[in-house]
Amino acid sequence: MIDDKERILLLLKERWIKGEISKERYEEMKAELLAGIKVEKKELIAEPFDEQETVQGVGLGSVLLGRYEIEMEIGRGGMGVVYKAKDIKLDIDVAIKILREDLARDGRAIRNLKEEARIAMGLSHPHIMRLHTFDEDGHRKFLVMEYIKGETLKDRLEREGKLKESEVIALSAQICDGLDYAHREKVIHRDIKPSNVMVTERGEVKILDFGIARVAADSMTRITGQATSGTLVYMSPEQIRGKDVDLRSDIYALGIMLYELLTGNPPFSGVTIEHQHLHETPEPMGDVSPRLNEIVLKCLEKGKDQRFQSAEEMKAVLEGRLELDSERAAREAEEKRRRDEALRREAEEKARREEDAWEERRRRGAAERENRKEEKRSESIFVETRGESELKKNWALTDARSIQEQGGSVFFGRIAEIKKEEDNRFRRLIGDMAKQRLGH
Ligand SMILES: Nc1ncnc2c1ncn2[C@@H]1O[C@H](COP(=O)(O)OP(=O)(O)OP(=O)(O)O)[C@@H](O)[C@H]1O
Ligand SMILES: [Mg+2]
């Protein structure tokens, strides 16, 4: 017994949407669940369709169109059963997906599938599974694909719980490569998820089911009348709203897948999953570097314009060749800080130079003024010392002292004049000053 109501409801809803149970059975079980009646675990285990429906008379050793010899079953999904087969004509291994009967009978789905297959067959890239053809043998309709020896990321997750950051980065870069090529060819995958990405033994990524995976889900949408379809876990807000799907919807699904690869769980789950895709911000991933967190969360932006605008851009960021928004903002802020600092230093330097120049001018002006004053003073001594008045002699003496204190050299030529004076004391003083000045 499982008693996690939310999880059970989601599982049931997914089974209904995938066409594994009828809408009536889904409603019935939902009502039972909500009424408190526990659901048997076996009801929740995906058994896509019964043997009769699935195999359509195909068994091991069957040869389709006299060319494809079925060797073994390798997987089952919403569209049908996948077999490993031998292309007898070319002697190569191929994978054959035989469509489940109800899908094979849905004329509109088949027309869509043929159209998608025709486009997908034109894709040729090392990271994209090659689709050889879409064909039919009697009532059996099937896709012939490149056989990939490896493991899906879904299998890896089941085996290992979660993947190492370095490996996720390496795988993402290859996925981006394949996506970017297809997007340039105007093909959108529309169903990126771990079961649609395989990794070969050599660590090479192969994206499966380009463009075709949604056909079955869309056929189911028409049958059930539901606006949304397929695996809700990886569905972008615009896909949920059923409008304007473009390459950035693949980027969103890739973001969900990377989140799951890194943490072991997708960011959104439970019965309110659609509401979460539309309105809730995913929790940042613990144990994951801030840079990779930002990359993944950028993929998961609700608005397409806020996501990476191409897989190429995302790859460049993953490989560190391009900055993230936060890194660009930090770099620009740092550049601005440096520019401001340089401007500030330049302004300071200029102010200092101006101050120095001003100081120099002031100093020169003062010196000139002083010189002029000194000259004037010496004149005054010369004139005054010839005078008779005691008072005037004292003034001259004071002047002479101050000039001497300032290093004046104005007396030498004037001593002769002073000598003529009758005042011996004054003459002596002036003489002393002159000697002192001359260093005697
Ligand atoms: N070309 C291939 N080479 C090798 N294995 C393949 C190939 N295509 C599919 N498989 C295997 O078959 C499994 C079923 O694939 P399928 O596409 O039918 O279902 P799915 O992707 O798991 O689910 P859904 O139908 O909901 O997309 C894959 O998980 C994978 O293991
Ligand atoms: Mg698939």
Residue 352 confidence (pLDDT) above 90? yes
Task: Give the confidence band of 40 by pLDDT, cuts at 50, 70, 90.
Answer: low
Which residue has a Cα nearest atom 1 of ligand 1? 147
pLDDT above 70: percentage of residues in the chain? 74
Token pair listed for 276: 């979460």
> Ligand 2 mean position to 195 CA, how many Å?
6
DSSP state, residue 204 = -
> Ligand 2 mean position to 75 CA, how many Å?
9
Which residue has a Cα nearest atom 30 of ligand 1? 75
Spatial separation of the C-alpha atoms in residues 18 and 103, rounded to whole Å: 11
For the segment 254-265, the average pLDDT, to the nearest whole number, is 98
Domain presence at residue 110: no
- What per-residue confidence (pLDDT) applies to 357? 93
Q: Among 17, 151, 198, which residue has the most ligand 1 atoms within 8 Å of its CB, making it the best to mutate? A: 198
Q: Locate tokens 């034109």: which residue?
A: 122
CB atoms within 10 A of CB 239: 23
> Ligand 1 mean position to 82 CA, how many Å?
6
Q: Locate tokens 């997708």: which residue?
A: 266
**Amino acid letter at 257?**
M
Q: How far apart are the first and last CA of the chain?
A: 121
Residues 266 and 355 in one domain: no
Residues 186 and 262 in one domain: yes
- What per-residue confidence (pLDDT) applies to 184? 97
CB atoms within 10 A of CB 364: 10
- What per-residue confidence (pLDDT) applies to 371? 80
Residues 176 and 204 in one domain: yes
Instruction: Tell me the ligand closest to 143's alpha carbon.
Output: 1
Instruction: Tell me the ligand closest to 231's alpha carbon.
Output: 1
- C-alpha distances out from residue 105 to 7, 73, 140, 339, 428, Å: 32, 22, 10, 69, 138
Residues 249 and 355 in one domain: no
- What per-residue confidence (pLDDT) applies to 229? 39
Domain presence at residue 229: yes
Residue 36 confidence (pLDDT) above 50? yes
Which residue has a Cα nearest atom 12 of ligand 1? 75
- CATH number, domain containing residue 244: 1.10.510.10
Residues 164 and 251 in one domain: yes
Give the tens place of pLDDT for each residue, 277-333.
Answer: 999 999 999 999 999 999 999 999 999 999 999 999 999 999 999 999 889 999 999
Spatial separation of the C-alpha atoms in residues 194 and 182, rounded to whole Å: 18
Residue 224 confidence (pLDDT) above 80? no
> Ligand 2 mean position to 309 CA, how many Å?
25
Residue 221 confidence (pLDDT) above 80? no
Angle of helix 311-318 relative to helix 165-184, nearest 10 degrees?
150
Instruction: Tell me the ligand closest to 76's alpha carbon.
Output: 1
Nearest atom within ligand 1 for CA of residue 145 = 1
Give the tens place of pLDDT for each residue, 92-130.
Answer: 999 999 998 888 888 888 998 999 999 999 999 999 999
Better pLDDT: 118 or 21: 118
Task: Give the confidence band of 413 by pLDDT, cuts at 50, 70, 90.
Answer: very low
Domain presence at residue 276: yes
- What per-residue confidence (pLDDT) applies to 412? 36
Task: Give the confidence band of 15 by pLDDT, cuts at 50, 70, 90.
Answer: confident
To the nearest whole number, what is the mean pLDDT of the chain? 83
Residues 351 and 373 in one domain: yes
**CB contact set of 78 (below 8 Å; sequence gap of 6+):** 18, 19, 48, 213, 216, 217, 220, 230
Residues 316 and 169 in one domain: yes
Residues 166 and 258 in one domain: yes
Domain range spanning residue 265? 155-208+225-322
Instruction: Tell me the ligand closest to 81's alpha carbon.
Output: 1
For the segment 421-437, the average pLDDT, to the nearest whole number, is 61
**CB contact set of 189 (below 8 Å; sequence gap of 6+):** 179, 182, 196, 207, 209, 210, 211, 213, 250, 253
Q: Among 17, 123, 152, which residue has the most ligand 1 atoms within 8 Å of its CB, making it the best to mutate? A: 152
Residue 418's φ and ψ, nearest 5 degrees, are: -65, -35
Task: Give the confidence band of 227 by pLDDT, cuts at 50, 70, 90.
Answer: very low
Nearest atom within ligand 1 for CA of residue 150 = 4
- What per-residue confidence (pLDDT) applies to 432? 67
- Of 293, 322, 351, the residue at which a domain comes to its end is 322
- What per-residue confidence (pLDDT) applies to 374? 65
pLDDT above 90: percentage of residues in the chain? 56
- Of 322, 353, 370, the residue at which a domain comes to its end is 322
Residues 259 and 354 in one domain: no
Domain presence at residue 397: yes
- Judge whether 250 and 263 are in contact, CB under 8 Å: no
> Ligand 2 mean position to 189 CA, how many Å?
11
Residues 360 and 338 in one domain: yes
> Ligand 2 mean position to 208 CA, how many Å?
6
Domain presence at residue 219: no
Domain presence at residue 342: yes
- What per-residue confidence (pLDDT) applies to 56? 65
What is the pTM (predicted TM-score) of this model? 0.71
Q: Among 82, 94, 206, which residue has the most ligand 1 atoms within 8 Å of its CB, making it the best to mutate? A: 82
Task: Give the confidence band of 238 by pLDDT, cuts at 50, 70, 90.
Answer: very high
Better pLDDT: 1 or 303: 303
For the segment 349-355, the average pLDDT, to the nearest whole number, is 94
Which residue has a Cα nearest atom 13 of ligand 1? 75
Q: Which of 235, 120, 239, 238 minimizes the C-alpha distance to 182?
A: 120
Residue 52 confidence (pLDDT) above 60? no
Residue 133 confidence (pLDDT) above 70? yes
- Of 322, 349, 368, the residue at which a domain comes to its end is 322
Domain presence at residue 93: no
Nearest atom within ligand 1 for CA of residue 230 = 26
- Judge whether 322 and 294 are in contact, CB under 8 Å: no
Provide the number of structural domains found in the chain.
2
- b/e map of 153-183 (b: 16 or more CB within 10 Å)? bbebbeeeebbebeebbbbbbbbbbbbbbbb
Nearest atom within ligand 1 for CA of residue 191 = 27
Residues 232 and 318 in one domain: yes
> Ligand 2 mean position to 273 CA, how many Å?
22
Residues 414 and 299 in one domain: no
Task: Give the confidence band of 33 by pLDDT, cuts at 50, 70, 90.
Answer: confident
- What per-residue confidence (pLDDT) applies to 9? 75
Catalytic positions: 191
Give the tens place of pLDDT for each residue, 195-207.
Answer: 999 999 999 999 9
Token pair listed for 166: 């370095």
Which residue has a Cα nearest atom 29 of ligand 1? 195
Which residue has a Cα nearest atom 11 of ligand 1? 75
Nearest atom within ligand 1 for CA of residue 217 = 26
> Ligand 2 mean position to 34 CA, how many Å?
32
- Judge whether 266 and 260 are in contact, CB under 8 Å: yes
Nearest atom within ligand 1 for CA of residue 78 = 25
For the segment 336-349, the average pLDDT, to the nearest whole number, is 96
List, in sequence order, the alpha helices (H) in 126-188. Answer: 153-160, 165-184
Instruction: Tell me the ligand closest to 210's alpha carbon.
Output: 2
DSSP string, 260-309: HHHHSS-S--STTHHHHHHHPPPPPPTTS-HHHHHHHHHHT-SSGGGS-S
Q: Among 16, 72, 73, 74, which residue has the most ligand 1 atoms within 8 Å of its CB, making it the best to mutate? A: 74
Which residues does a 6 A CB cutoff place in the pocket of ligand 1? 74-79, 82, 95, 97, 129, 145-148, 152, 191, 195-196, 208-209, 213
Domain presence at residue 382: yes
